[in-house]
Structure 1
Amino acid sequence: MRRAAAGTLAFAMSLAAPCPARAQAGEGTVVDTVIVSGASRLPATTVLTLAGVLTGRSISYRDVQRAIHTLYGTGQYEDIRVSQGTVDGREALRFDLIERPMLARWTLRGATAVSEGSVRGKARLYEGQPYDPAAAARTRATIDSIYRQKGYYLARVDLRELPQDDGSLRVVFDVDEGRRVAIAQVEVEGNRRFSDEQVTDRLKTGPEGFFWFQKGEYKEDQLETDLRERLPEFYGNRGFVDFQVVRDTLLVHEETGKATLVLEIDEGEQYRVGTFEIVGNRKYPTQFLGQYYPFSDTTGGGFLGFGGSRGPPVFDRARWDEATQNVRTFYYNNGYIYAEVRPVLTRRTGPDGVNLVDLRWQVGEGTPAIVNKVSIRGNTITHEDVIRRSILMVPGDVFRQEALLRSYQTVSNLGFFEQPLPPPRYEPANEQGDVDVVFEVKERHTGNVNFGASLGQGTGVG
C-alpha cells in the first residue's frame, strides 16, 4: 500500500510541474496510452474499465487515487504502483500490479475439541479465491472465539502461509488447545441482601466440587444465560426490579487452568406493590380483568378493594409476567388476536419511605378477527372432509387461539400424517383484520397392501 501511495505522489508531481497554467486551472494530464503490467487473471481492458481510466481524457491526481482504491477493492491485488512518463513522445500512464496468490486450501491442525466443519461454517476464508490476509486473521480470531466459548481460554492458534509450486498458497491454522478452564471459585461483589452462596446457587456456572457432576466447566453461552436471565429472575422475583450485573471477570491461572469468576452486581432497592389499574379496556370490564391480578390476595389496599391487611407485598416479577400473559391469552382466545396488553411499572417512594412500584395494564383491544377461510394443503390420499371434521373452526367463526390449538391436536391424532405436523398458520385476509387459516399435512405411508391369487381346480381362482 505504501508503494502505491508513492507512485501516486510521483504521478501528481509530474502532472503539476510541466504546465503552470494547466495546474492553476485544476486540470490533469491528457493521457495518450495506458500500460497495464502484471495482470494475468483479468484482461488489461477489464482492469482499465474497473479503474475508470480512459485514454484521450484528462486524468488528475484524484482520478488515480480512485483507480487505486477501486482496484484494491476487487481483492485481486497485493500491491499497485502507478507511474507516468513519455513513450515515443506520447503521454503514458503505467499500472504495475502484483496479484495476490490464490488460496488453494486451508486446514485446521491439532484440534480435537473443535471440528473443522464448525469453523468453516463461520469463517469467511474462501478456497479458490485470491488470498485475503485480513480474512485469514479474522478466521484465526473466530477459531480463538470458538475455543473460548467452550472454556478453552488457554488455547493458542497460529497461522502458517505455505507457498505452493504453482504460485498458490496453502494456509494452516495450528492449534494448541491447552487445558480446559475449570472454575475453582466464584466471588460475588456488591451483594447486600443475599449471601454469596444464595447468589451462586442460582447459577449453572459453578465451581468444581467433590461430586462427579460438579465439574466446574466454563461455558461462555451458559454464563451469559446465567447473567442475562437466571440472576435477574432471582432478584426480580424478590422485588429487586433494578438489579443488574455490572461486570463479570474470569481470572485464569495459565499453568493450572484453574479460574476464578468474579461477578460485580448492583442489587438496587427492593420494591413492594403499590397501586394497580387497567386502562384502555372497552369490551371487558375492569372488574372482570382484575381477576387476573396476581397480588390481590396479599395486598391491603391496591386494586378495587381486593386483599387482606398485611400491607403491600414484595413485587414478584414472575407472577406479574405470568398474569400479564394470561390476560393476553384471554384476549387471543376470544378473537382479539391483535390485542396488546402492555405492563407498566412506575417506581415511587411511599409516605413511610417504603419503595413502591405502581402497576398498570395498558390495553389496546382492537377488533375481533373473523375466520375468513380454512385451507388444507398436502393431503394427497386422505379426503378433505375427514380432516375438516377434526377442525374446530369454520368460516364466520370468531378466531380463537384455543380452538386453533385443539384443532391442531385433533388433526395430529388422526394418525394419517407424518409427525410432528407443521403448526397451523393464520394470515391476514382483508383490511378488517379477518384471517385465513392454513393447515399443512404430509401423508404418512403406513405400508403396502398385497393382493394375491392362485389357480385351483374348482372355480379356477382360489
Structure 2
Amino acid sequence: MKIFRIFSTITLILILLLPIYAQSKRNIKILGVAIQGNKTISENSIKIQSGLIDGKEVSYEDFSSAIRRLWKLKLFSDIQIYVDKVTNEGVFLIIKVDEYPRLGKFIVIGNKKIKKDKIDEEVNLLTGKVLSPYLISESKRKIKNLYEKDGYLLVEIKEELKEGKRENTQDLIFNIKENKKVHIKNIEFEGNSKFSDSKLRRIMKETRKRNLFLFRVGEFNKEKYEEDKNKLRAFYRKEGYRDFEILHDSISYSSNSKSMFIKMNVCEGPRYKYRNITFSGNRLYSDKQLLALLNIKSGDWYNAEELQKGVYERINGLYMDQGYLFFQIVPHEIPISDNEIDLNLEITENNQVSINLINIVGNSKTHENVIRRELKIFPGDIFNRDALMRSQREVFILNYFSNVTPDVIPKNEKEVDIEITVEEKSSDRANMSVSISQMHGLIGGGGVEFNNFLG
C-alpha cells in the first residue's frame, strides 16, 4: 500500500511536469517547498534530508531519490510528494509525511519467570525512541528468545499501543503468557543403520531427553540444539562418513504442551577410505616428509578431524615456523568409487618472510624494555610462528597484563611488522589470546585465569 502510494505520487509529479519536459530538457528549478504532517521533525531537517531545497535545480530522478532518502531514516510511516504549483520559472512542492509515534512508557505484563530489568536490558526500549512496526517486532523476537533459552518455547507475546501523555507518543505494552516450560520427552532418529539412536543421542550433549533419575531436566535451547547437530555431523565425518547429511528435523509437542518430541531424518552415506594421497606445488619439503607429518596413509578410513589437524596445524605450522607466512594449502577430496577417495594437497609456498618492525602498544604504566626483553623474536629475523607464540607467553606470565595480543601486519611480499598489544591489569584476572591477522586467523590462544599468581 505504501509502495503503491509512493509510486502514485511520483507518477503525479511526472504528469504535472510533462509540459515542462516537452519544452525543455533542462532541470527544473524548485521555487519553494512546504512541509506538512511533521510533528517532532523540523521542516528544515526534512528538506535537507530529502535534498529538495528552495532554489535547487532537479531532475525527475531526484524526486525518487528524495523519497528513498527519507524512507531510510525510518522515521515516517508514509511519505508523499506533490506538485503544488507550476510556473515557467519552476515548481512549488509539498512534502507530506506521517511520522511514527515516539515511545512513551514501556510496560510488561505477565512476566513471572524473567524480570523486567532483564527484558529492559535485552530490548533497550528508551523513552523517545521511534516506535516503528519493525522495532516492535524485533523487541518481541528478543523477548521470545530470552524465554526460549530458559525452556519456555510456547511463550506468547501480544503488543498493545495506548496514547501517551505527550504529543505523538504512545505507550507500548507487552502482554506475556509464559505457558509451561517444555521438556524433551524423546529424540528419535530415522535413516541411521551404522550407529544406534542411543549412541547418537549421547553425541548431542546439550540436547538430552528428560531423565530425573540421571538428574537431566531435558530443557531445550535452540542455539545449543544447532550446535549439537553440528557435533553430529562432525562425529559421522570423523568416522569416515563424509557425505553424511541431516535431511530434515522436526519438533512436536504433547497434547498438554509440556513435552517435546524431536525427530531427525539422516542419510549416513558410505564410509570412505583413502586411496591415493598426493602433493603438488611443494619444493621445500618432499612428499614423504609431508605425508609423515600429515599422519594419514592409503587405506586409512576417512577422518575429517584428523585431516584438518594434519593440514592446518601440522603442515601449515611447519611452513610458518620457517617464515612462510603466506603459505597456502588446499585439500582436494576426489571420490573415486562408492567408498574410496583420492586426496590431493595443493600447496603454494610463496616467499619466506622476515620481520621489519616490532611495535608495542597499550603499555601506559609498564616500560617498553620490560616487554621487549621477554621477546624471542627480533627485527631482521625470519618470521617464526613458534617464537612469536613463546614471546606472547613470556610477556603474559610477567603477570602485568590482562591481555597480550600479537598481530602480524603484512608490509610487502617479503616483510611483515609485528604489533604486540597489551592491556595492563586492573585486577588479578588474566586472559590471553593471539591472532595473525584476518588472512591467517588464530595461531594460538586460550582462556586462563591467574588469581593471586605469585601467592
TM norm structure 1: 0.75
Q: What is the CA RMSD across the aligned residues, in angstroms?
A: 4.2
Correspondence for 1:319 among 306, 329, 336: 306
Work out the CA distance in 2 between the residues paired with 1:42 and 1:70. 15
Deviation at 1:364, TM superposition (A): 1.7
Query: 1:342/1:150 Cα in 2 relative to 1: closer, same or farther (>3 Å)?
Result: farther
Deviations 1:374-412 (A, max 9, x none): 344455666555544432222232221111222222233
Correspondence for 1:438 among 397, 409, 420: 420
Work out the CA distance in 2 between the residues paired with 1:398 and 1:30. 66
The residue number in structure 1 matching 2:159 is 159
Asked if the contact 1:155/1:177 (under 8 Å) is kept, the reply is: yes
Work out the CA distance in 2 between the residues paired with 1:22 and 1:368. 68
What secondary structure sits across from 1:411 in the alignment?
helix
Work out the CA distance in 2 between the residues paired with 1:47 and 1:441. 45
Asked if the contact 2:30/2:52 (under 8 Å) is kept, the reply is: no
Q: Equivalences for 1:53-132 in 2 at 5 Å? A: 74-78=73-77, 98-114=98-114, 123=123, 127-132=127-132
The residue number in structure 2 matching 1:332 is 320
The residue number in structure 1 matching 2:196 is 195
The residue number in structure 2 matching 1:424 is 406
Query: 1:112/1:403 Cα in 2 relative to 1: closer, same or farther (>3 Å)?
Result: farther
Query: Letter of the aligned partner of 2:309 in structure 1?
Result: E
Query: 1:431/1:101 Cα in 2 relative to 1: closer, same or farther (>3 Å)?
Result: same
Asked if the contact 1:4/1:80 (under 8 Å) is kept, the reply is: no
Asked if the contact 2:396/2:404 (under 8 Å) is kept, the reply is: no
Query: Letter of the aligned partner of 1:227 in structure 2?
Result: K
Q: Equivalences for 1:246-395 in 2 at 5 Å? A: 246-253=247-254, 255-296=256-297, 302=298, 312-324=299-311, 325-349=313-337, 355-378=339-362, 384-395=368-379
For structure 2, the residue ranges without an aligned partner over 5 or more in a row are: 86-90, 429-455
Deviations 1:39-71 (A, max 9, x none): 343455555666676889999999988777766
* Count of equivalent residues: 419
The residue number in structure 1 matching 2:433 is none
Work out the CA distance in 1 between the residues paired with 2:172 and 2:72. 22
Asked if the contact 1:372/1:435 (under 8 Å) is kept, the reply is: yes
What secondary structure sits across from 1:187 in the alignment?
strand
What secondary structure sits across from 1:410 in the alignment?
helix
What secondary structure sits across from 1:422 in the alignment?
strand
Work out the CA distance in 1 between the residues paired with 2:364 and 2:70. 57
Asked if the contact 1:150/1:220 (under 8 Å) is kept, the reply is: no
Query: 1:390/1:33 Cα in 2 relative to 1: closer, same or farther (>3 Å)?
Result: closer
The residue number in structure 2 matching 1:234 is 235
Query: Letter of the aligned partner of 1:345 in structure 2?
Result: E
Deviation at 1:335, TM superposition (A): 1.8
Deviation at 1:433, TM superposition (A): 3.0
Query: Letter of the aligned partner of 2:391 in structure 1?
Result: S
TM norm structure 2: 0.76
Deviations 1:285-312 (A, max 9, x none): 222222123234xxxxx3xxxxxxxxx2
Query: 1:436/1:65 Cα in 2 relative to 1: closer, same or farther (>3 Å)?
Result: closer
Deviation at 1:99, TM superposition (A): 4.1
Deviations 1:341-365 (A, max 9, x none): 222211112xxxx611112222222
Work out the CA distance in 1 between the residues paired with 2:387 and 2:29. 78
Asked if the contact 2:162/2:170 (under 8 Å) is kept, the reply is: yes
Asked if the contact 2:12/2:82 (under 8 Å) is kept, the reply is: no
The residue number in structure 2 matching 1:306 is none
What secondary structure sits across from 1:241 in the alignment?
coil
The residue number in structure 2 matching 1:400 is 384
Asked if the contact 1:239/1:316 (under 8 Å) is kept, the reply is: yes
Asked if the contact 2:189/2:265 (under 8 Å) is kept, the reply is: yes
